[in-house]
Homo-oligomer: A and B are copies of this chain.
Amino acid sequence: MNPIEFFFDFSSPYGYLAACRAAEIERAAGRVLKFTPYLMGAVFKTTGRQPLAHHPLVWEYAQNDLARSARRHEIPFNLPDPFPVATAAACRAYYFVLEREGADAARNLAMTLYRAYFVDGINIGETDRVVEITAGGQADRAALSETIAGDDAKQHLRAVTSEAARRGIFGSPFFIVDDQAFWGHDRIEDVIRWSSDGPW
C-alpha cells in the first residue's frame, strides 16, 4: 500500500494539529504517513490565496476554532506571537536531517519544531532558534548553520515546493492518498476512510 503523503507548512496551526495526530492516523488508516514540509506561502502567491490571519472576521473565527479543535483532540496549543513566521530555515533543517539521519529522525525534528512554536512560543522563523533545536547539545552549530543557509539546501527546498505546486498542492495540512487530494485538518476522517476502505 502506498504511504499517505502529508504536506504541511511549519507555520500552519492546522498542520500542527494534523502532525500531532500522525500516529493515530497511521493506526486507523493502516498506512504510513510520509512527511513533506514545504513553503505554503510560495504557493499562495500563485493561487492568490491569503493566510488565515489576513481577514479579521475569518481570523477571529479561526482562533476560536483552532483552540476548540486542539481541546477536542487533547493537543496542547498556544497561538504563538509572532504569527505567521517564515519557515524556510525549519524546512531546510528538516531536509538536512532527512538526508543525514533518515525519516524517523526527520519526523522527530518536525514534531520538535512544531511543539517549540505552537506550545512554547519559540520563534522558529529565526534561523538561530532552528539551529539550536536541530543541533541539540551535540553537533557543530556553526557547520549546521552554514549548511542550511547554503545553496544546496535552498535549491532542494525550492524543488520540493515547486513540485508540490505542480501537483496542485496548496494548503496545510494537505494529504494525498493514491490519486486523491484531501485538504484540511477536517478531512482526516476522510483520509483514514479512503486509505482503509478504498474509493467510494
Residues of A within 8 A of B (CB): 46-50, 54-58, 60-61, 64-65, 68, 71-72, 168, 170, 180-184, 186-187, 189-190, 193, 200
Contacts and interface: CB of A to CB of B under 8 A. Distances in A.
Contacts of A47: 55-58
19 contacts: A47-B56, A48-B50, A49-B55, A57-B170, A58-B170, A60-B168, A61-B168, A61-B170, A61-B181, A61-B183, A64-B181, A65-B183, A68-B180, A68-B200, A72-B190, A72-B193, A184-B186, A186-B186, A189-B189
Contacts of A184: 186
A46 B44 CA distance: 21
A81 to B, nearest CB: 22
A48 B50 CA distance: 10
Contacts of A193: 72
Contacts of A55: 47-49
Contacts of A190: 68, 72
Copies in the complex: 2
Nearest to A43: B57
Nearest to A182: B65
A122 to B, nearest CB: 28
A72 B192 CA distance: 13
Given A47-B56, A49-B55, A184-B186, 12 more contacts: A47-B55, A48-B50, A48-B55, A57-B168, A60-B168, A61-B170, A61-B181, A64-B180, A64-B181, A65-B181, A68-B190, A186-B187
Contacts of A68: 180, 190, 200
A187 B66 CA distance: 12
A45 B170 CA distance: 24
Contacts of A168: 57, 60-61
A46 B57 CA distance: 9
Contacts of A200: 68, 71-72
